Structure 1
Amino acid sequence: MSSPSDPKAVDFQAMMEDMWARVRAYNPQADEEKLWFGFRFAMSAHEGQLRRSGQPYFVHALTVASILADLRLDVDTLIAAMVHDVVEDTDYELDDIRQRFGKDVALMVDGVTKISGIRAVAPEARKAETYRKLVLAIAQDPRTVLIKLADRLHNMRTISFLPADRQLDIAQETMDVYAPLANRFGIAKIKWELEDLAFKVLQPERYFEVESGIHQTRAERERLIEKMVEPLRTQLQDAGIDCQISGRAKHFYSIYRKMKAQDIGLDRVFDQLALRVVVGTKADCYHALGVLHSTYPPLADRIKDYIATPKPNGYQSIHSTVRVPGGKYIEVQIRTEEMHERCELGIAAHWRYKEGGGADRADLADMVKWLRQLMEWEEDVDDPREFMENVKVDFFRDEVFVLSPGGDVFQLPRGANPLDFAFRIHSEVGFRCVGAKVNGRIVTLRHELQNGDTVEILTSRNPAPSASWLEVVKTSRAKHHLRRWLKSTQYDESVRLGREILERELRRAKLNLKVDDLVDCAQQMGYPELDKLLAAVGNGEVTPGKVSARVTPRQESAAEKVLHKGRDLVDTLRRRSSTGVRVAGVDNLMVSYARCCQPIPGDSIVGVITRGRGVSVHRAGCSNLGDPNLGQDRLIDVVWDTAPDQTFMVKLIISAHDRNNLLKDISNVLSLTSTNIASGEFSSEDDLARVTLVIEVRNLNNLEKILKSVLKVPGVQGVERYQLGGGGHA
């Protein structure tokens, strides 16, 4: 430790005695010996280590524990806070922590210890894997998040000692991850300070602009509070409501965010001030709201009832912005004492010592249910960076609330679309989704949902998810169900497809092989089982030509050639496709129709062996067939073989003069031709309308008749059949 004359000398004994006095005050039964043992162990472990500020490193560990003591946390959490960096920064190992302090402390320490030692992994991936480890630890013991947040809070308070570039990186990470994490667990006290500290580093000019403006009006705010608090307290007491009233300026980043969102100056942020009214019961909250509104007129669109509909982090309160004499506006928050404690401390409130009862953990399971669910959804995600992005989408973004046609309310992350909503209802609804209506209007599955939207999901009888949906959905729930579906259906299909493609290639190369030959070939190519090689061929990962090139050819006899030729002829005659397309030489393949050119019967077509979707059928003139990365050995001959009642999706782009009833007239014409509209979009600019429709057609002749009918609609200037990169016709 530093000498007493050193200006950076720290009296650890005094710091610890102060913390112990606070712990003993809220928890008289606390294990004093265990806490002091943790203190001495951590201080000894970090002896000689210094922070960039020049202070002994143990200052940080002890301050983190002190922050948590202010939240009245249990002894194990305080010990874990003091030793949280021991494994990472000293020669002690996790087993040393477990042997001295037990498995609970060891679990928390392990959860906040960074992933290290994997030099071959990019720093971003290592950081993302550390996040993943933290999330798993929080799901097992929620106290881990309290230690991590207190750790980040002290690091942000002392960030000025770091180089400028490191300050920016840490502040951005704090704003992106740790402040939202504090918010998700309802710890407003820490969230606000983290946001303001990060705001100060990231946008110093804006920070000081807000800070200066708030300080200039401090005296005026205090006078306003004095004028309002006593009359309101008297009125509430006259109504039989016991209450505590306090006022505070809103936090700097909260004010700046409102300025930015509404594009206004600080002088136009009316509710810079918040007044908090704490009452006894839930009924008192609503009674107090009535008393408030009878005295101060409310802004009708600024009343929010988070008691009836709590926020996802459990926050409950009634907010109402009212107008006070002088034309000023104040936000009043009304809540009970229990709601106030949970608002300030969030999940920490469940671990606080309660006289005569230990920690209150009655509904802790609900608070971490979302994390356990997340870990289940993301178990198939190998890339930790993708995992972290999914965490940010699902749990750190703002929410939107949408309604089902029956009036049920569903919460989704902002940016979610109808497909996310379908999977939010049930996985089967997601699998069978073919379209959606929002507020009665047909929209695409990529349409971003807004607060208050009523969403109706259109479904088919048979589930038909597409791998491309993984690029559409935003939520982990939807991605999880899609991956499971695709994994279960595509592997078996890929094995079957690979077997038939490889058989065709071997016949073409005049190779007659035994199964053992192929097993040997699979192992030579790094596949432990033949089925895994076949699946790789089926999903396009390995071309059949590469396999045939690795095996030893055995020339067929003349009799075998005749026999195989006869079999090929019989197979071709017998072959009938249920998909509407027959693939030369291969039976019952998984076939998909390319979205880039949307082929229909009557078009000249070519098949492409894809990864995971079997054979993709393209129009012969499709621009994607000219891709230089597309090997010729992936092209395969296909012909149409449709059933009489089979239909295909085609996208039309209609240009027209914008006028009343245009959509109605187009719809009527399509109805007369018995054409079903699957989805549609409409836009208009400078009196020119653009209508995009996805319709069902039987074949090219059917489409030509539809195009001619649409061209006859008054105002329609042209109709194009969509093809990526052009190539449509009018």
Structure 2
Amino acid sequence: MDNNALYNISDDELIEQTFQELLNDYLSTKHRKRVEIITKAFNFANQAHKGIKRQSGEPYIMHPLAVAKIVCNEIGLGSTSICSALLHDVVEDTDYTVEDIENIFGPKIAQIVDGLTKISGGIFGDKASAQAENFKKLLLTMSSDIRVILIKIADRLHNMRTLGSLATNKQLKIAGETLYIYAPLANRLGLHKIKTELENLSFKYEHPEEYEEIENKLHASAAERDEVFQQFTAPIRSQLDAMGIKYYILARIKSIYSIWNKMQTKHVPFDEIFDLLAVRIIFEPKNSAEELNECFNIYVAISKIYKPHPDRLRDWVSHPKANGYEALHVTLMGNNGQWIEVQIRSDRMNDVAEQGFAAHWKYKEGGGGEDEGELDKWLRTIKEILDDPQPDAIDFLDTIKLNLFASEIFVFTPKGEIKTMPQNATALDFAFSLHTDIGRHCIGAKVNHKLVPLSHKLESGDQVEILTSKSQRVQPQWLTFATTAKARSKISAILKKEQRNYQKKGETVLNEFLLEEGIRPEIVNYDKLLNLHNIHTKEELLAAIGSRMIILGDNDRNVLKEKQSSNWKKYLTFSFGSNNKDSKQSKKQENEIEEKTSKEVINPKKILKLTEDAIQKNYVIATCCNPIPGDDVLGYLDERNKVTIHKRQCPVAVKLKSSYGNRIIATEWDLHKSLSFLVYIVLKGIDRVGLLNEVTQVISRQLGVNIKNVNIVCEEGIFEGKFQLFVHDVDDVKQIIDNLKKVSDIKMVTRVQE
């Protein structure tokens, strides 16, 4: 509907018009035409939400209507799901109960609405335990009726489409949560189109400038891409027409988020992303039995027109992906000298690719029932770890998330029994899949009769025998190579139990130490010890003491008995490392400043603008991502009322947005080039005499940038250098990179983490 046409009609007319659109969309599907119950659900919800407005100012009922339209058009569900979508906020926001819904609409709709109500506050609350509990509710509800999560994803998609009306910190919370949980869930359920839109919208609100820049570049190169598409597909169309195949061909453009992600991971600019265009051939098979053969017939035909890449054939027709995706992918060399991927799908395969598992239902005999198989296996795997809840929400979400992208391999026990494991599973994962006791006591494995360590990655067809010892105990480093949700949850639970025992012992030791020294067990004294040992929480401190990683002695005694130190304040007058070449600071002072930059508390008014609730609070710059002025950043307010500043795309920040969204603070830089920060620049090129000299001349003389450290490697004619520089902000970094790219024989320049 044209939004401009809506300005001149009343709310009631708008609501009625939107509902009629929903009915028309539903009537054009293959589902049974249960218009009466949908109309009944709409009238009920409309009356329940009467007079309520959304943040955007539109009537509240427009949101359930929009969700119902997504459920109908973009996920392909029927009347039960449409009714549930229309009613999904009624129990949460009005005086009606689940019992009322059941009495009026029956048990199935009531069950789905109840599931949606349980997770209606979002997956995440304020406290870690509440977040984990809510996520458990989500998963348990998923396993009872998958339509709950499908409707929840539709709800999140509409919220993301209307995110612009919310405050910035709310946008960051919801966008982070979406990227961390909902996009992977949509992907795992085969909702590729929705997954892509969720990623793009999250990226748009987290990095608006980068989003706009890539969008503009895509728009500027659209005509050129269209010409390539037309020329490439012309002979393919002629061949398919000659074969009498009913088909249509689409151009698939790489999503903005995918482009940005590739630019970040591959350290390449937009101009070096060569797979922006892919071609999709969607055909109507003569009959279902010929579907697979026709895919390969088309592949053979187009491979005679263009040369195929020998290593890039992907057969997901004979062996579908775990999320139900089926297609034949082949990469062909176009006449322009570039490789172009062609995706061959039947119309049924395309529906499954667009609408996920829900699309299977349309093709089942009798038009009803749910397709089980891979989805049920995945849900069963997730349910296994719900018996062992993690008290820390971030750990719990990480553990679950491991299963969201997993593909499968098949391995054998010594007796020949087949076990299904996620791809990249290790021998340790296999041990825990057999039994927790086998996992906790395993010391190694034999794979195909050869001894391997527990970290050994398994492959399909491996025969695996686990070796155990009663004296073996779970090791913390196991978490670095355990990949399955079950193994990680069991290891974490065992380690946490040990940690609690250490904490109890540590508390006894510390109290005895304080009593002996005549020092009161006050918060200020705990803080002194936390700062001395560079530990974040009291619990970590007690565990370290209990496990004898920390042995209390003279240093602790001296720190506890001295007055509260304020030595850090002397560094407020220093830059984060001077970029003045005539600076007289000693090397020792420079190192001290660098160390304080990453660890000490700085006055926020000097560097950043934070929202009102944190304007007076101190903050630290996160050492995990080392943001500098100009980077997109956010603040995280911890339990000790300290604000940590992260890059928005920092993996730690992504988890914090997802799990502690209400503690996220909108933040922007306000430095005016007053301080300097350390960054790392990597460059690669063809080695030649004088290249290093030219590079350092550009950095030091042309740009006046202070170089702290240089590491150069030259191997077989390839030059690779890593420079540690002091800069003021991102603009400095961009100027450095642009100038270095102009140096002859330098092929790649990028900023990296340490």
TM-score by length of 1: 0.60
Quick one: which amino acid aligns to residue 104 of structure 1?
K
Q: Give 1:294 shift.
A: 2.0
Matches within 5 A, 1:422-571: 422-424=431-433, 430=439, 433-436=442-445, 444-446=453-455, 449=457, 459-460=466-467, 466-468=473-475, 471=479, 473-479=482-488
102 and 463 in structure 1: CA distance in 2 versus 1, 3 angstrom threshold: farther
Q: Give 1:342 shift.
A: 0.9
With 32-41 and 108-117 compared, the bigger mean Cα shift is at: 108-117
| Structure 1 unmatched ranges of 5 or more | 492-534, 547-610, 629-685, 687-730
Matched, 1:16 2:19: yes
8 Å contact 1:302–1:321 — kept in the other structure? yes
8 Å contact 1:188–1:343 — kept in the other structure? yes
1:172 to 172, 176, 194: 176
SS at match of 1:16: helix
Q: Give 1:540 shift.
A: 7.3
8 Å contact 2:76–2:355 — kept in the other structure? no
474 and 309 in structure 1: CA distance in 2 versus 1, 3 angstrom threshold: same
SS at match of 1:107: helix
Quick one: which amino acid aligns to residue 336 of structure 1?
S
Q: Give 1:59 shift.
A: 0.5
Q: Give 1:98 shift.
A: 1.6
Quick one: which amino acid aligns to residue 378 of structure 1?
L
8 Å contact 2:188–2:323 — kept in the other structure? yes
Q: Distance in 2 between matches of 1:265 and 1:536?
A: 51
Q: Give 1:274 shift.
A: 1.6
SS at match of 1:26: coil
Matched, 1:276 2:280: yes
8 Å contact 2:251–2:279 — kept in the other structure? yes
Matched, 1:395 2:403: yes
SS at match of 1:335: strand
8 Å contact 1:42–1:82 — kept in the other structure? yes
115 and 234 in structure 1: CA distance in 2 versus 1, 3 angstrom threshold: closer
SS at match of 1:290: helix
Matched, 1:95 2:95: no
Q: Give 1:385 shift.
A: 1.6
Q: Give 1:411 shift.
A: 4.8
Name the structure 1 match of 2:64. 61
Matches within 5 A, 1:578-589: none
331 and 121 in structure 1: CA distance in 2 versus 1, 3 angstrom threshold: closer
SS at match of 2:313: strand
Q: Distance in 2 between matches of 1:274 and 1:42?
A: 43
1:345 to 344, 348, 355: 355
Name the structure 1 match of 2:48. 45
Matched, 1:32 2:35: yes
Q: Which has the larger Rg?
A: 1
Count of paired positions: 507
Quick one: which amino acid aligns to residue 146 of structure 1?
L
Name the structure 1 match of 2:698. none
Matched, 1:302 2:312: yes
Name the structure 1 match of 2:189. 185
With 425-434 and 71-80 compared, the bigger mean Cα shift is at: 425-434
Q: CA offsets per residue over residues 87-144 of structure 1, 9 Å max, x none?
A: 11112222111221122112212222256999x9844433332222111111100111
61 and 163 in structure 1: CA distance in 2 versus 1, 3 angstrom threshold: same
2:388 to 364, 376, 380: 380
209 and 224 in structure 1: CA distance in 2 versus 1, 3 angstrom threshold: same
Quick one: which amino acid aligns to residue 338 of structure 1?
R
Q: Distance in 1 between matches of 2:184 and 2:343?
A: 22
8 Å contact 1:249–1:272 — kept in the other structure? yes
478 and 88 in structure 1: CA distance in 2 versus 1, 3 angstrom threshold: same
Q: Distance in 2 between matches of 1:283 and 1:75?
A: 35
Q: Distance in 2 between matches of 1:536 and 1:326?
A: 66
| Structure 2 unmatched ranges of 5 or more | 1-5, 286-290, 512-541, 555-712, 714-754
237 and 22 in structure 1: CA distance in 2 versus 1, 3 angstrom threshold: same
Matched, 1:134 2:143: no
Name the structure 1 match of 2:296. 286
Q: CA offsets per residue over residues 164-203 of structure 1, 9 Å max, x none?
A: 1111111111111111110010011211111111111112
Q: Give 1:251 shift.
A: 1.8
Q: Distance in 1 between matches of 2:460 and 2:79?
A: 48
Q: CA offsets per residue over residues 336-360 of structure 1, 9 Å max, x none?
A: 2222211111122134497x82325
Higher relative contact order (CA 8 A, sep 6+): 2
Quick one: which amino acid aligns to residue 185 of structure 2?
L
Matched, 1:247 2:251: yes
Matched, 1:143 2:147: yes
Name the structure 2 match of 1:371. 379
Q: Distance in 2 between matches of 1:440 and 1:170?
A: 50
Quick one: which amino acid aligns to residue 326 of structure 1?
N
404 and 207 in structure 1: CA distance in 2 versus 1, 3 angstrom threshold: farther
Matched, 1:420 2:423: no
> Cα RMSD between the aligned structures?
4.4
420 and 59 in structure 1: CA distance in 2 versus 1, 3 angstrom threshold: same
8 Å contact 2:200–2:257 — kept in the other structure? yes
Q: CA offsets per residue over residues 454-508 of structure 1, 9 Å max, x none?
A: 9786643656663436746342322566699999xx99xxxxxxxxxxxxxxxxx
8 Å contact 1:349–1:360 — kept in the other structure? no
Name the structure 2 match of 1:209. 213
Quick one: which amino acid aligns to residue 77 of structure 1?
S
Name the structure 2 match of 1:509. none
Quick one: which amino acid aligns to residue 58 of structure 2?
Q
404 and 326 in structure 1: CA distance in 2 versus 1, 3 angstrom threshold: farther
Q: CA offsets per residue over residues 409-454 of structure 1, 9 Å max, x none?
A: 965366x54311443477686466322589999775356x4x9699
77 and 352 in structure 1: CA distance in 2 versus 1, 3 angstrom threshold: farther
Name the structure 1 match of 2:368. 359
8 Å contact 1:322–1:329 — kept in the other structure? yes
SS at match of 1:302: coil
SS at match of 2:280: strand
Q: Give 1:313 shift.
A: 0.8
